[in-house]
Amino acid sequence: MAAAFTALFTFLSTILTWALDGVLWLLGKAFYLPFDGLLTVISSIFNAIDLSSFVATYAMNWAGLPTQLIWFVNAVGIPQGLTVLVSSIIIRLCLNLIPAAFTRI
C-alpha cells in the first residue's frame, strides 16, 4: 500500500513539475518575444542613422586643436564631467516618466 502511495505521489509530482516547467517556458517566451522585437526595431533605427561623417568631422576638429589645449581639457576632466552631466540628465528624464502616484508612500 505504501508503495502505491509513493508511486502515486511520484507520478503527481512529475506531472506538476512538467506543468510548471511548461507554464514558466510559456511566460518566458511571452515576455521574451515582444521585448526582442522591440530591441530589434530600436537596433534597426540606430543602424539606419549614418553617423560616420559626423564622427570623422568631430575627430578632425579635435585634431586641429593645439596639443596643450587637448592636454588641459583631459587634465581638467571635461570629457568625464560631460559624461556624468549627460548621464544624470538622462537618468532624471527617465525617473520623471514614473508617475508620482507610485513614488509616494
Tens digits of per-residue pLDDT, 23-40?
999 998 998 988 998 999
Give the pLDDT of residue 70: 86
Give the pLDDT of residue 2: 83
Give the pLDDT of residue 103: 66
Summarised one tens digit per residue, pLDDT across range 48-87 is 887 778 877 887 888 888 889 888 988 999 889 999 999 9
In this structure, are residues 69 and 78 in contact, taking their beta carbons and an 8 Å threshold?
A: no
Q: 515582444: which residue's cell? A: 34
Give the pLDDT of residue 104: 66
pTM: 0.43
Cα–chain center distance at 55? 24
Q: Tell me which DSSP letter residue 104 carries.
A: -
In this structure, are residues 62 and 56 in contact, taking their beta carbons and an 8 Å threshold?
A: no
> What does pLDDT average to over the chain?
87
Say which residues have a Cβ less than 8 Å from residue 80's Cβ, sequence separation at least 6: none
End-to-end CA distance of the chain: 57
Give the pLDDT of residue 105: 58
Which three cell numbers, joined as nine digits, stand for 15? Answer: 506531472
